[in-house]
Structure 1
Amino acid sequence: MASLKNRKDQLLFQLKRWSAWLPDQPEKPVSSAWPNGHNLTASSETPDLGFLPQIQRRRLTPLARAAIAVAWDCCPSGHQIPTIFCSTHGETSVCFNLLEQIAARQDVSPTQFTLSVHSGIAAMFSILTNNHAPYVVIATNPENLTNALLEAYSFITETSEVLVVFYDQAIPEIYHPTTPTPSRLSALALYLDKPDPRASDTLSIHPSSHHLNKNDDVNAKLLENLIESICNGDLVIHTGRFCWKLDSHLHNNSLTC
């Protein structure tokens, strides 16, 4: 493990826990997925935010509910931990609705405006969980989801733990002719730490030789496909320019990227 930590062509993390929200997934035994995590939709049709007061839950959009649910499930309660939020489209649907209201000269809800900005969900999570640690919000194209892990790596060189949250949803139909869209709402949280030779699960990130066509509709569904692969227990996953590889004490992974 020590020799791998010095290589410049990969990033290494200890994967302490993961949590996902991906509806319409075929039921599979939890044991078939990556260890130390689960898909929350296996036990609920809507994100369970029972840990929040009802008045706060009502303000949240479906995307915000999913992102906050996986982040809360993944991170220890009350933990002060730096967080990276990553989304391609964010609350585009909310923003588009506000633009329609402005065009129609209607009043705009201040609450909806607050939630429409790209950092809105991150700010809500920070406030609702009383987490005073830094957070970063990234807008990236789907092929570059791993940018969030590059950011996370910069954090764990100075601190020990970091939470990474990916989330996205289908965009309004008016954008479909020019922008590939995810097919459904999805969210994924990863609770990461510095690599440790004694740790049971190590996530490594490598450059991938399986580049996707930038015009391919598959690009828009990379987050969904990533979550499906994690739930299926795939140990090597290609995500655009990078390859994710899990080495776990539960699996003898001799595969390479």
Structure 2
Amino acid sequence: MNYALSVLDWLAIAPGLSSSQAWSQWASLATTTTEFCGEIEKSQRIPMMSARRMSTASRLAVEAGLALLEKHQIDMAVFSSRHGELERTYKILQVLAQEQAVSPTDFSMSVHNTAAGWMTITAKNTLPVTSLAAGLDSFQQAMVEARAMLAVEGVKKVLLVDFDGAVPAIYGAEANTPGFPYCVALVLTLGEQLECRQVNTQRIDSLPQSLTFLRHWLLKSTEFVIGADTHHWQWKRAE
């Protein structure tokens, strides 16, 4: 599979990181640690009552999406998350195990497209949105989905939001995921700035795909590979 597109804008949020300057500094560090420390800034765009009902991961995704919607005329959007509302789902399972009543809020907010729904509601924007999950390859599959959206007549800009939260400790090391919430949002359009193709190169990334992509994007890497479960993706950047 081969395709090309261009990145018009980006925004990312993680503990201790929110500004473009802070992310550029992070990208320049040689370390590949998955430990992100610090506070997560309070939302500037989500009403307080709504923010309180959201999981941390969804709040980051909605905040990033709203920020880019303010700057761009977005035609379609795709949200990707490996685990979605797993924290809330685990809370529901705990309540059921204790034979107690499930909170209506927890139940209604436990679906995978919660963040996407919150963004459109908060922004009062009815743009088409897709939510998907594809394991470790969720971000790359969202890229494929975004490229397909850009092939639709009249679609010029697509918003991609990749996010995840901290996985409950009960799932242990088997979850193979970072222990912090994060979000990476991109505004994509047709172009030849970046070319992506599937390759057989073996690679193991210590960071989620979207954070690996963001690091190379900020470093202006001319070529890099992002790993997945069964195959890998090679990116080339036009000079």
| Contact 2:16 2:39 (C-alpha < 8 Å) held by counterparts | no
Partners in 2 of 1:225 and 1:51 — Cα distance? 27
Correspondence for 1:164 = 160
- Give the secondary structure class of the aligned counterpart of 1:227: helix
Partners in 1 of 2:39 and 2:219 — Cα distance? 20
Partners in 2 of 1:148 and 1:91 — Cα distance? 18
Query: Aligned partner of 1:23: which letter?
Result: P
Correspondence for 2:208 = 221
Given the alignment, which residue of 176, 195, 205 partners 2:196? 205
Shift of 1:179: 2.6
Shift of 1:235: 4.0
Correspondence for 2:111 = 117
Shift of 1:30: 6.8
Shift of 1:242: 0.7
Correspondence for 1:93 = 87
Given the alignment, which residue of 171, 175, 189 partners 2:171? 175
The runs of 5 or more residues in structure 2 that have no matched partner are 26-37
- Give the secondary structure class of the aligned counterpart of 2:79: strand
Partners in 1 of 2:78 and 2:184 — Cα distance? 12
Query: Aligned partner of 1:17: which letter?
Result: D
Q: CA distance change for structure 1 residues 178 and 31 in 2, over 3 Å: closer, same or farther?
A: closer
1:75 aligns with 2:69: yes
Q: CA distance change for structure 1 residues 23 and 209 in 2, over 3 Å: closer, same or farther?
A: farther
| Contact 2:82 2:136 (C-alpha < 8 Å) held by counterparts | yes
Correspondence for 1:36 = none
TM-score, normalization by structure 2: 0.80
Correspondence for 1:59 = 53
Shift of 1:76: 3.1
Partners in 2 of 1:109 and 1:93 — Cα distance? 14
Partners in 2 of 1:245 and 1:118 — Cα distance? 31
1:190 aligns with 2:190: no
Q: Deviations over 1:98-130 (max 9, x none)?
A: 110111122222112222211111111111111
Query: Aligned partner of 2:140: which letter?
Result: T
Partners in 1 of 2:22 and 2:222 — Cα distance? 15
Partners in 2 of 1:18 and 1:174 — Cα distance? 33
- Give the secondary structure class of the aligned counterpart of 2:65: helix
Partners in 2 of 1:78 and 1:155 — Cα distance? 16
| Contact 2:194 2:236 (C-alpha < 8 Å) held by counterparts | yes
Shift of 1:73: 2.2
| Contact 1:47 1:65 (C-alpha < 8 Å) held by counterparts | no
Correspondence for 2:102 = 108
Q: Deviations over 1:160-190 (max 9, x none)?
A: 1111110012211221253312232111111
- Give the secondary structure class of the aligned counterpart of 2:84: coil
Correspondence for 2:131 = 137
Query: Aligned partner of 1:245: which letter?
Result: K
Shift of 1:97: 0.7
Given the alignment, which residue of 212, 221, 225 partners 1:234? 221
| Contact 2:80 2:138 (C-alpha < 8 Å) held by counterparts | no
| Contact 1:143 1:219 (C-alpha < 8 Å) held by counterparts | no
Partners in 2 of 1:108 and 1:95 — Cα distance? 11
Given the alignment, which residue of 139, 143, 148 partners 1:149? 143
The runs of 5 or more residues in structure 1 that have no matched partner are 1-8, 34-43, 197-201, 248-252
TM-score, normalization by structure 1: 0.75
Cα RMSD, aligned residues only: 2.9
Shift of 1:147: 0.8
Partners in 2 of 1:59 and 1:219 — Cα distance? 31
1:17 aligns with 2:4: no
